Structures are given as C-alpha cells and as structure tokens.
Amino acid sequence: MKIYFNRIVLLVGVSTFLLSGCSEPASDAPISDLETPDNTQEIQDYYASKPEFFSFKTLADIPPTLNWQNGTYLPEIGSTNAKKGGTEYTQIQDFPRTLRIVGPDSNGSFRPWILDDTSMQIGHRHPDKFEYYPGLADSWAVDKESKTIFVKLDSNASWSDGVPITSDDFMFMFWFFQSPYIVAPWYNNWYGTQYTNITKYDEQTFSISIPDAKPDMDARVLELRPMPQHFYKEVGDDFVERYQWRFAPTSAPYVIKDKDIKKGRLITLTRNKNWWANDKKFWQYRFNADRIRISVIRDTPKVFEAFKRGDIDQFGLNLAEYWYEKLPNNDADVAAGYIHKSVFYNQRPRPTYGLWMNTSRPLLENRDIRVGINYATNWQLVIDKFFRGDYSRMQTSSDGYGEFTHPTLKARSFSIEKALRSFAKAGFAQRGPDGILVNDEGQKLAFTLSSGWENLKDILTILKEEAAKAGLEFRVEVLDGTTGWKKVQEKKHDIHFSAFNVSLEMYPRFWETYHSDNAYDDAFLEDGSVNPDRKLITQTNNLETLSIFEMDDMIHRYRASDSKDEMKELAFAMTELHHEHASFSPGFYQPFFRVGHWRWVRYPESFSYKHARSGGQLFVHWIDTDMKEETLSAKNDGKSFEPQVRNYDQHAN
Amino acid sequence: MFRFNPQTLKKLRRFREIKRGYYSFLLLAGMLVLASFGELLINNRALVVSYEGELYFPTYSDFHPGTDFGLSYSYEANYRELKQQFKENGNENWVLMPIVPYNPYENHSPGGVFKPDPPSISNRHFLGTDTTSRDILSRLFYGTRIALIFSLAFMACVYVIGISIGCAMGYFGGIFDLTFQRLIEIWSNVPFLYMVIIVFSVIPSNFSIPARVAILLTVMVLFSWTSMTYYMRTETYKEKSRDYTAAARIIGASNTRIIFRHILPNALSTLVTFMPFTIVGAISAITALDFLGFGLPPPTPSLGELLKQGTANLRTAPWIVSSAFGTLVILLTLVTFIGEAVRESFDPKQFTIYR
C-alpha cells in the first residue's frame, strides 16, 4: 500500500553507524514453544464482536446493477523481447533488521523488495495511463452511493506456497492490521478508521466500504494487499519476535529461501517458477531475473567501485557528481559501450524538498520574517551550481499532481532587497558587526538550519553563504538520519531541510501536514480564535506547526468532498493560503531519474513509464546472460561496442 | 626573575643538538606563528583598500557593506570583484588582497558549477577546490590551525587534571589512592568513541559552534586524563620516598610546598616527554572523529572532513586526498620528531646511574 510511504521521510544514504553488521542472532529457528499457538478462534470472536465491520452475505446480495470493470483494455507493461533468467546483482546499504513487513524496524529500505514493489495488490495503477489494471482481482465495481467497492478475485490467485488467496485473507488483513500485536499504531489507526466494512460473499468475492466517497475512492481499496491467514495463525503477543526472520508466503514473484539469508552480508531473492501470474497480461514481461542477489555495501563510493568492476549491474546516477564526473560520457567503460547511461523524464508527485519552518518558535512565528527567509533562500543557485541546472525549482508543496497542482503559483525567488524589506518590517533593520541583522534589542537574526542528510549538507552551506548576504544567519546542523527525523518529530527544530516521500496519487494530502490537529492539542477556541493554553503535539508530520482556522475548515471540506472540481478549487485555495503563510520554502525537484547499467541489463524500447519512480521499480528490465558473456570477453579482448547514452524525454514537461 | 636550573639548561642544550627534532620544532613553531596571523595570508577580505583617498583595513575590522566602496549592495563587499572593478575603472582606487584570496567557507567556482577543480595558479586555488568549490589550501590551513589549537587545549586540560589527581594519589596514598585507582579503572573502560557519538546525538541544536567544539573537547578530555595519572602516581611515590622529600618534611614544609617545590619539578621531566605524543593523539582523534562525521560541526574546516571527501573522490579528484593526507603526514611527523628529540634529551639514564 502506497499509503505507508507517507510516514517515512526520505532517508537518503543514512549510514547506521552503530549497527553491528557482524553479530549473528543466537538462533534462526522460529521460537519453538511446546505448543504452537492458534488464533483462529480469537479471530472468529473478533469478527463476531464487530458485526457492523465484518459481514457475511451471499452472492445474491450483490446489487445486480453494478458496473464491473477490469482494466484489461490498458496496454501491456514491459517488453515482448524480455528474456527470463539470469541473476541480477544489486546492493543495499544495511542488512534488513527483520523479514516482517509490519512492526518495529520493518519499514526499511529492504521492504520494497518483498512488499512495496513486488507483491500484488487487488489492482495497480497503470504506470502510463494512471488507471487501474488487475492484480489479484479478476474484476471490480465501484458503488459510489454506498461508498463500497466490490471485488472478484482471480480464481487462480495463490500464495507462493500454493494456498489459494481468498476473501478470508482480506478479512484477516483487517484483523491483523487492527490488532495490537503488530506494534504498529499507524496501521491500527489507518485500518481502524479509514474503512468501515468488509463483506464476504464467497471465497472469491467480497466488498469493502470506506467512510467518504472520493473521486479516487477505488484507490483506497484496490491498493490493499491481503495477508496469508494460514501463515499468521500464530500471531499473538510475541508476534514481533516470532516472525522476525520468517519469510511470509507472498503474492509476489520473488521468494526468499532460508539458505539464501546470510545475515549481515547477503540476501538473495529467487523467482517463483510457479508464480500464478506468470502469464497474465500485465505481469508476463516483468520480474525477469531468476535470482536477485542483494549484498550489503554501506558506502556509496564503494558501491560505485563495485559497479565499475561489474560486481553489481546497475547504479543510480541521479547525483550530478556521478553523472558528470565519476561516470562521464568519455569514461573508458562508457565509451567502449560496456556501460550504458540513461536519463528518463517522469511525471509524478514530487517529494517535498524544502525548508520547513517551525512556526511555534520565537521569531519564526512572525510572518514577515518567514517571508524574508523565503526571499533569502537561494534555491536557484543550488539548482544551477550544485545540481548543474538538471533539477527544477519546486513551486508549491504539492507539485506533480497534474490538474491538482496549482497552475500559476510560483515560489518566491531569491531577492536580497525583498528579504531586507521584509526583515525590516519585523524590526530587523540594522546590520551587526558581522553583517547579520539585529533588532533594537540587539537580538540577532539567526536560526538553526538542521538536516538529517549528511550527503546533502553542501546544500545547507550554500544556502548559509547566500542568506548571509541578506543579513540572515543559518546555523547549520547536520545530524544522522534517525536523529534528524526524531528532532522534527519532537518539533524541536527551527528550520529543517527535509522532504516527504509521496506516492503516486490523484491529489495531494493536506491533513497530515497542515491541519491544526497535528500541531496543537486544542488549537482554537469555539469562535476560531487562538487558544492561549494550547500545547504542541509531537510525532506528527505537521513540521511547520501550521494552524490556521481557515485551513482546517478547507481541509475538512476537501476530505469530505466527492466532487473533483470542488476538490481542485479547495486544493488551489489551500496551496495559496500556504504560500501566503510562507512557512515552507519550496526547494527543488528532480524531473527525471538516471541510471548507469552494464550492457547486459536490458530495458524496453521506451525504457520506463510515465509515472515510474525509478528504473528498477517496475521490474521491466531483464538480464541477458549471453550478452553478459559477450561483454565480459569483449572487455578482456579490448573489443568495444557502440556507446549508449540515452535521453528519454517523451514524458518531459 | 625566572631562571632555569642547570639541569634543565643542559637538557635544552641537548635538545638543540638533536637537529632533526630541533628543526622540526622551529618549523612547527613557525607554522603556529604563521597560523595566528592566518587572516592576513588566506582570506577573502582585502588587506588594504584605498578608496577615494581613504585607506581601509578590513581584515580584523567590522564588515564593510558594498556601499562603503560605491557598490550597490548592502552585504559584505566582495573584495576580489572590487579589485577587478577598480582596475577596470583605472582610477586612483586600489585593493591589496592576501596571497590566497579565499576564505574557507565560500564557494568559489571558476567554472560556474560546484565541483572539485584541480590546482590552478591562475585562479589562485593553489591546491584546487573541494566538492563544493571551496579552496582547499584555505580549508587545510584553517583546519590545521583549529586542530593545533584544539590539541594544545586538549593537552593542557589532560595534564592539569592528570597531574593533579595522579600526584595527589601518589602523595597521599592509602584509601584515597585505592578509591581513585578503582574509579579510574572503571572510568577508563567506558568506550570513548561511543560516548562521543552518544553525547553528540543528544546535544541540543541551539548550541553555537564554539560551544559544540568546547563540548567535544570536554568529552575527549574526560575520557583521556586517566592514563596520565598512572605515570604521575608512580613518579610521585618514587619521589616521595627520596631523602630530600623526607628532609623537607622534617624541616616542617607544608604539603603544598613539598608538592609544588620538590616533587612536581622532579617528576615533570618524564611527563614532558609525553606531551608531543599526546598532541599527536589529539590530532589523530579529532581527524578520525571528523572523518566519521562526529567531530567538529560543519562547515568548520577540518582535516578529517577533507580526508573523507578525498576518499569519496579518489578517482576524480585525487588532489583533495593528497593535500589532506600530505598535511596530516607532515604535521604528525613533525610532532613525532619533536617528541623523540624531547625524550632523548630528557632521558635521565644519560646522566645518572639510577636504573
């Protein structure tokens, strides 16, 4: 479910220094109690105790007038030339701390391999057309009136251990995610409040209802993934330990065998030859490699060296220094055609890179100062000089949502005069001996600018140097990823440089980041004025501690609305209000992804798809083993091929 | 007037005779002197500006906004551009820049994008630039200065604490000695590196950079003074049982007098030999911590940070790692040479029959 992602901040290149990679847990065997617990009865009781949520009906109860659809008219994904087979060599920064997909430590960089990018949902958004194509479903129907989506599962759908996937697994999913055993409050909340009912009609047919009808209400249900009830029979108080290293049966094409887990070093995925969706229209040309060997390499420079040696097959070249300097077009391996370089321009919601100002802090509560900071932040210089003009300026905090993104609003661009004027309005009109503005009380205009991204710290120093010209001092603080995230979650930051990863959705979310419920316990009095006794609340994503009565109202209307036009109007109004409030300085976005890959990693003609996040996300590439042999021997003999540096800009703005 | 006793003078003479150590000492002392006037050599502020018949010396003064020199902006004047401009205008005004006209923080990219540029005399980047186009010579110079000041401060603190506690342990002995020995044993088993990492992860962010450096220094001192107490304790024990100490006591000298006039001067000669090695240790430690990202907060110039950049760009920008590595090698070698010479000249075996 893509929703999970919204809770993670992008932790680009976090090195977990304290993690001891070499310590082997005492035993890999599942904790063997004398008796294996069985929760079947407990689950039945739970269903019975919530009859309004878990219902059982017969096929005759399905409304006959439904408009069933299955998206099969959408184009196939992947290339007909794709060959199955071969081993893909890749890398991960840290060894996964668990094989669980939920609960403590599960939300790491490894999970996409076993869940987010590989396992099947009821339906998936087509990466070009944005509409849904079937995953586990045979067909589905949306009933706006009753806010319900009906689903018929594919009768062949089965888990990797051969057990069929049925409606029971979906009912179980709700029990599982609502249960306290999984130690994941966010899931408890989401599955407890965002759905109102699941009804089983037969083994293959069920329906799920949601509280509000939305223009994209199908997304909320179709992007659900069932949980294998037969495997989670032992879920109880000790879930976290009991399932720590057990690989769950999956709907994904890749499985992990026990012998392929080398703790701390290497983990290998194996393609399930009997995967039920092998020949399905949207799945047949994807997930081509037989095995994927993921080894742990912590340092990015080392990963690059491994790539250059051919030990790993692909390397992300998003950073300018890699694209232009470390692997330039005249690099020996590129010039000889052994390594190909590709740029693919995509279109999708953009992660919100920018400066998040904590408006509950002294000085930052003053709008004039925030406006001044916006003007004193030279993102264009960062884009031009650090990213070499490849990236683009982010204009609002919700860029990339197509028609839901404000069409005309522009972020404030760097201007020393405007910044000075704005600071002067807030009383900072004099420069001190070091050129930083001071007010009449002698207070300096200085803020801590923190970030959890060690590898982007240079951006902060550039911003600092530029801001000083406008008399503003940034005290740069670079933390490690976890500490940085903890700091903003506790709302202890002044200004934080960060971004929320966003998923492919129809329209942006506002509640998480801009609703006062996520800033203060009781933000406003009855009449809409500020409650003087309100207290900050922590552990939410409202990093600006933004609380505007008007905004709250609009968010409520936005969330309750089922009209696309009304929602668009509200989204624009909220974006404008947010811009006016000036508590966010929009940074940059990367309108493409770039990959370097050895010649034997083959991609489809169009390389990737309009809404793809990265080259590997859709698994449309394949490993050509003959070509690998040919390339390696050619490299030995000094033979070369046509160099390939390709630019796929068919989806560029 | 303060006078060295003949013994010390003899030792100092011997030190001068050991050429390698002596010249290393002179070189390092020269570097320190140079470093204390560093702003005059490596800086983006001009040494002298002559504008409209008036002379300005911006190096150590308050900042001069561009408007002071007839420029349109109110932030600090860019003296390099100013120089260019005065030259082009061809009037009486002139600017004298330092040899390296860059400060360690500014991004100056001749090519327009921030990337490592190779050493170039025409750009006055004598050692090239780092990954964000900051002058390496400038960063090395100020980084080294900070490392030297830091390690000197570190040494002073460690010696003050180590000597006083060690001396007290040796002099008073008994329960006091026993308790402190046990405490030290426990204390010295706390892993130093982890403590630094933990302490740094909980420091509130509103601390300024000098405060953070001071905290780093405190933490390092807290975990480093213990080893010094061992030497001091044994040394004091030894001196305490000598006849001259007994004599002083019989005459009725106070503890303070005995410690400061009799024991300390005699014990110090051995401790002096440790000093350079403590400095070497401190420089390596601060460099290692910076390398790991737990040392001086960015963007403070530091050797470790440069080394880290260098190792990440070995292929594409070898000049980063070579300058940082070269500086570190030269610095540590000099200090080690001094240390060896000091040890040799202070070696008591040369002059006595004590074994």
Judged by DSSP in three states, A80 sits in coil
Contact A141, A149 (CB under 8 A): yes
pLDDT, position B274? 83
Closest C-alpha among B287, B271, B273 to residue B151: B287
Shortest CA gap A587–chain B (Å) = 18
Shortest CA gap A476–chain B (Å) = 7
C-beta atoms of B74 and A431 within 8 A: yes
Q: Which residues does chain B have within 8 Å of residue A493's beta carbon, measured at their own beta carbons?
A: 205
**Interface residue A306 vs chain B (CB under 8 A):** no
C-beta atoms of A450 and B205 within 8 A: yes
Task: Map out the domains of chain B with their CATH numbers.
Answer: 6-35+138-350 (1.10.3720.10), 44-97 (no CATH)
Shortest CA gap A433–chain B (Å) = 5
Q: Please give the Cα distance from A392 to A379 (Å, whole number).
A: 10
Residue A583's Cβ-count burial label (10 Å; 0-12, 13-18, 19+) is buried
C-beta atoms of B132 and A461 within 8 A: yes
Q: Which residues does chain B have within 8 Å of residue A471's beta carbon, measured at their own beta carbons?
A: 74-75
Given a cut of 90, whether residue A52 has pLDDT beyond it is: yes
Shortest CA gap A286–chain B (Å) = 35
Q: Which residues does chain B have within 8 Å of residue A301's beta carbon, measured at their own beta carbons?
A: 311-314
Name the token pair of B137.
């010579």
Given a cut of 50, whether residue A28 has pLDDT beyond it is: no
C-beta atoms of B73 and A416 within 8 A: yes
Helix, strand, coil % (nearest 5) of chain A? 30, 20, 50
Residue A29's Cβ-count burial label (10 Å; 0-12, 13-18, 19+) is exposed
| Most confident option among A518-522, A645-649, B133-137 | A645-649
Q: Which residues does chain A have within 8 Å of residue B109's beta carbon, measured at their own beta carbons?
A: 385
E strands in B58-205: 94-96
pLDDT, position A149? 94
Q: In which residue are the tokens 């308790």 written?
A: B179
Shortest CA gap B133–chain A (Å) = 10
pLDDT, position B52? 84
Q: Please give the Cα distance from A480 to A483 (Å, whole number).
A: 6
pLDDT, position B39? 87
Helical (H) or strand (E) element with A593: strand A592-598
pLDDT, position B350? 61
Given a cut of 90, whether residue A247 has pLDDT beyond it is: yes
C-beta atoms of A461 and B298 within 8 A: yes
Q: Chain B residues contacting A, CB < 8 Å?
A: 62-63, 65, 73-76, 105-107, 109, 112-116, 131-133, 194, 197, 201, 204-206, 208-209, 292-293, 297-299, 311-317
Task: Please enumerate in sequence order all residues whose Cβ is within 8 A of that of B122, keeping only pairs 6 or more positions apart, or say none.
Answer: none
**Interface residue A468 vs chain B (CB under 8 A):** yes
Q: In which residue are the tokens 């004298």 written?
A: B96
ipTM of the complex: 0.73
C-beta atoms of B315 and A326 within 8 A: yes
Under-50 pLDDT residues of chain B: 1, 355
Would you list the DSSP string of A501-535? ---S-SS---HHHH-GGGTBSS-B-TTSPBPTT--
Task: Tell me the CA end-to-end span of chain A in Å, nearest whole number.
Answer: 28
Report the range of poorest mean pLDDT among A258-262, A358-362, A488-492.
A488-492
| Bridge partner list, A598 | A339
Q: Closest to A475 (Cβ–Cβ): which among B115, B208, B312?
A: B208
Reduced 3-state DSSP string for B199-249: HHHHCCCCCCHHHHHHHHHHHHHHCCCHHHHHHHHHHHHHHHCCHHHHHHH
Shortest CA gap B289–chain A (Å) = 12
Which residue of chain B comes nearest to A386, CA vs CA?
Answer: B114
**Interface residue A18 vs chain B (CB under 8 A):** yes
Contact A84, A208 (CB under 8 A): no
pLDDT, position B117? 85
Reduced 3-state DSSP string for A195-235: CCEEEEEECCEEEEECCCCCCCHHHHHHCCCCCCCCHHHHC
Q: Please give the Cα distance from A186 to A30 (Å, whole number).
A: 27
Name the token pair of A356.
């998040």
pLDDT, position B348? 63
Shortest CA gap A634–chain B (Å) = 24
C-beta atoms of B75 and A471 within 8 A: yes
Q: Which residues does chain A have within 8 Å of residue B133's beta carbon, measured at their own beta carbons?
A: 385
Q: Please give the Cα distance from B169 to B233 (Å, whole number).
A: 6
Q: What's the rounded mean pLDDT across residues A446-456?
A: 87
Residue A508's Cβ-count burial label (10 Å; 0-12, 13-18, 19+) is buried
Given a cut of 70, whether residue A554 has pLDDT beyond it is: yes
Distance (Å) of CA A209 to CA A81, A141, A146, A272, B332: 41, 12, 8, 33, 71
Which residue of chain B comes nearest to A420, CA vs CA?
Answer: B74
Q: Which residues does chain A have within 8 Å of residue B76's beta carbon, measured at their own beta carbons?
A: 435, 468-469
pLDDT, position A260? 94
C-beta atoms of B298 and A476 within 8 A: yes
Contact A396, A586 (CB under 8 A): yes
Count of CB atoms situated within 10 Å of the CB of A280: 19
Shortest CA gap B331–chain A (Å) = 27
Given a cut of 60, whether residue A118 has pLDDT beyond it is: yes
Task: Map out the domains of chain A with their CATH numbers.
Answer: 2-17+36-271 (3.40.190.10), 299-339+592-648 (no CATH), 354-589 (3.10.105.10)
**Interface residue A385 vs chain B (CB under 8 A):** yes
C-beta atoms of A431 and B65 within 8 A: yes
pLDDT, position B206? 58
Shortest CA gap B75–chain A (Å) = 5
Number of CB pairs, chain A paired with chain B, less than 8 A apart: 102
Q: In which residue are the tokens 């229209």 written?
A: A281
**Interface residue A495 vs chain B (CB under 8 A):** no
Distance (Å) of CA B53 to CA A77, A461, A469, A551, B84: 75, 37, 27, 59, 18
Given a cut of 80, whether residue A162 has pLDDT beyond it is: yes
pLDDT, position B352? 54
Mean pLDDT of chain A: 89
C-beta atoms of A384 and B75 within 8 A: no
Q: Which residues does chain B have within 8 Å of residue A450's beta carbon, measured at their own beta carbons?
A: 205
Q: pLDDT band for A8, please (50, 70, 90 cuts).
A: very low
Interface of A with B in 322-341 (CB under 8 A): 324-326
Q: What's the rounded mean pLDDT across residues A442-448?
A: 92
pLDDT, position A21? 34
More confident residue, A456 or A75: A75
Q: Which residues does chain B have within 8 Å of residue A461's beta carbon, measured at their own beta carbons?
A: 105, 107, 132, 298-299
pLDDT, position B1? 39
Given a cut of 80, whether residue A13 has pLDDT beyond it is: no
**Interface residue A492 vs chain B (CB under 8 A):** yes
Name the token pair of A345.
């321009």
Q: Under the phi-then-psi rule, with left for phi > 0, alpha for psi from -120 to 50, and beta for the rest, what region is A442?
A: left
Contact A584, A544 (CB under 8 A): yes
Sign of CA dihedral B71, B72, B77, B78: negative
The model's pLDDT over A253-298, given as tens digits with 9 standing for 90+, comes to: 999 999 999 998 999 999 999 999 999 999 999 999 999 999 999 8
Percent of chain A predicted with pLDDT > 70: 95
pLDDT, position A573? 95
The model's pLDDT over A288-315, given as tens digits with 9 standing for 90+, comes to: 999 999 999 988 889 999 999 999 999 9
Given a cut of 60, whether residue A78 has pLDDT beyond it is: yes
| Mutation for B interface: A455, A469, A494, A495, most B CBs within 10 A | A469
Contact B283, B324 (CB under 8 A): no
Q: In which residue are the tokens 């003053």 written?
A: A366
Name the token pair of A523.
């933000």
Q: Please give the Cα distance from A148 to A591 (Å, whole number).
A: 36
Q: What's the rounded mean pLDDT across residues A590-613?
A: 93
